[in-house]
């Protein structure tokens, strides 16, 4: 069985056949860096990360391009509110995006192009469209003639008369058609601008992605990824201008990630109901956030709430405890290839079910189900002491570790580091208790109380018993 992808363009499942049998090109719409990213943004970035990881797991070489929109009305307006330059704001929030992505365990793209670094490519693309007669200039701004692209609306599946309903278009009576969108905006006083054949100005949002995608991946991409909210008008406009300019299909497969909801409404800055990713990461481990964000299929809305995060936290602890218990068997290879056991069968079944789930439109929810079914089987075998060969436990460890790496929900090296940190913490606390006991034996109650009180501030509670002092973490 090969990989199947639900293609938003055809609105059906399709066999995945890349342009090059061994290489896959992916373009992902990155953030507009006018603020920190929220959990909804993180879901799109994380799904893209896992798609790339899985394709590599299946043997493909993947080139991922994820842009940063660093010039836009939102950036200009926010910079004016804060009294800083648009460039300064974009740089600050761009750095924060990479920092937050790294904390979430998202691997960097192969290329992270910035819009402001691709102005010549955008101007060249606009000139091509002007020469073809599908764009026009008004007072230094350039607009795309939507009615010249016969299949406009094919991605969003909208009729021409319905296209304005979902588009946030600026009212401009100078345009030939209200649906026409800007590719170049004439400069306004005080705004960042660049020289162009039509006067100083700046690019429109849609032309940015077309130019950057084709610059780094060629005229036709294998996969284009983005949030559901970008399907129209952003992705629709990308298709129109790119395909009219090149005469080629812009992207063969379109993948759109559904919204993250909170209180029954889509999470977003415009809704004023968002949770910043960095705030969530301050309260939950990376693996817990990742587990939560992939606990539903990417095309299904996901509700952000404490109960769901607590379930993910419990699941991660269960997985981590299982792998910790298996780790001691790592390196014990089977000497008898004919050795079989129920657990060995469960290992093979998990690997098969994991692949089937991910081959079917990257169904992470079902893939997680396969992993945790094996976790249950491992725990039963460990508890039963039923003579399962150590080599089979080693096989289970490697199978779980490998598949969890694809989803990014368990990092053996990171867990080892965390284990070392916990051991160091415990040793330090025990040392402080020894110092406190020495102080108490000298009747130095001030030092004794100070150690107790300072540890309490760190949520570490000391209990004095006849056998000596004990401690526990209370939060």
What residue ranges in 204-285 does DSSP mark as E strands?
221-227, 251-257, 260-262, 265-266
Among candidate residues 119, 102, 300, 285, the one with its CA nearest the CA of residue 203:
119
Element (H, E) at 64: strand 61-66
Q: Are 202 and 193 in contact (CB under 8 A)?
A: yes
Instruction: Calculate the alpha carbon distances from 324 to 20, 104, 341, 407, 418 in Å.
Output: 40, 22, 21, 18, 12
Q: How far apart are CA 19 and CA 6, in angstroms?
A: 17
For 415, half-sphere exposure in the C-beta direction (CA atoms, 13 angstrom radius) is 19
Helix-, strand-, coil-residue percentages of the chain, each rounded to 5: 50, 15, 30
pLDDT given for residue 22 in this prediction:
94
pLDDT given for residue 44 in this prediction:
97
- For the entire predicted model, the pTM comes to 0.85
Which of left, alpha, beta for 402 (phi over 0: left; psi -120 to 50: alpha)? alpha
Please list the rounded mean pLDDT of every run of 10 residues in the chain (475 residues). 95 98 97 95 97 98 98 95 96 97 97 98 98 97 96 87 55 84 95 97 96 98 97 96 98 97 78 86 94 97 92 94 91 61 94 98 98 96 84 95 95 55 73 88 88 85 79 68
For the beta carbon of residue 362, count every other beta carbon within 10 angstroms.
23
Q: Dump pLDDT digits (tens) for 358-374.
A: 999 999 999 999 999 99
């Amino acid at each position: 069985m090969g990989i199947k992808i639900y293609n938003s363009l055809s609105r059906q499942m399709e066999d995945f056949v890349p342009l090059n049998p061994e290489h896959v090109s992916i373009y992902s719409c990155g953030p507009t860096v006018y603020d920190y990213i929220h959990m909804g943004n993180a879901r799109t970035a994380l799904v893209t990360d896992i798609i790339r990881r899985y394709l590599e797991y299946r043997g493909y070489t993947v080139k991922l391009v994820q842009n940063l929109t660093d010039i836009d009305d939102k950036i200009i307006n926010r910079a004016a509110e804060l009294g800083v330059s648009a460039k300064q704001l974009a740089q600050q929030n761009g750095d924060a995006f990479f920092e937050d992505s790294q904390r979430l365990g998202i691997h960097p793209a192969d290329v992270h192009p910035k819009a402001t670094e691709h102005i010549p490519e955008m101007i060249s693309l606009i000139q091509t469209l002007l020469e073809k007669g599908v764009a026009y200039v008004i007072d230094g701004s350039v607009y795309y003639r939507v009615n010249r692209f016969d299949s406009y609306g094919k991605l969003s599946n909208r009729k021409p008369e319905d296209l304005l309903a979902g588009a946030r278009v600026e009212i401009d009576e100078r345009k030939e058609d209200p649906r026409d969108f800007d590719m170049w905006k004439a400069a306004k006083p005080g705004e960042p601008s660049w020289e162009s054949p039509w006067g100083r100005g700046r690019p429109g949002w849609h032309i940015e992605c077309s130019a950057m995608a084709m610059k780094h991946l060629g005229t036709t991409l294998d996969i284009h990824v983005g949030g559901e909210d970008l399907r129209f008008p952003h992705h629709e406009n990308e298709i129109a201008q790119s395909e009219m300019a090149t005469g080629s299909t812009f992207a063969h497969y379109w993948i759109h990630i559904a919204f993250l909801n909170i209180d029954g409404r889509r999470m977003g800055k415009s809704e004023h109901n968002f949770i910043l990713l960095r705030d969530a990461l301050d309260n939950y481990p990376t693996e817990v956030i990742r587990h939560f964000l992939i606990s539903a299929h990417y095309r299904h809305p996901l509700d952000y709430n404490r109960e769901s995060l607590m379930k993910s936290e419990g699941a991660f602890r269960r997985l981590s405890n299982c792998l910790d218990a298996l780790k001691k068997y790592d390196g014990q290879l089977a000497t008898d290839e004919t050795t079989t056991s129920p657990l060995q069968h469960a290992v093979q079944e998990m690997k098969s079910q994991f692949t089937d789930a991910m081959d079917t439109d990257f169904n992470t929810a079902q893939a997680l189900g396969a992993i945790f079914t094996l976790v249950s089987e491992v725990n039963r075998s460990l508890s039963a002491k039923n003579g399962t060969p150590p080599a089979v436990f080693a096989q289970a460890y490697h199978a779980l570790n490998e598949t969890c790496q694809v989803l990014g929900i368990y990092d053996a090296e990171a867990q080892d580091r965390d284990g070392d940190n916990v051991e160091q913490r415990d040793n330090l606390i025990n040392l402080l208790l020894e110092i406190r006991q020495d102080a108490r034996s000298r009747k130095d109650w001030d030092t004794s109380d100070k150690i107790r009180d300072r540890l309490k501030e760190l949520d570490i509670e000391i209990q004095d018993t006849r056998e000596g002092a004990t401690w526990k973490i209370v939060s």
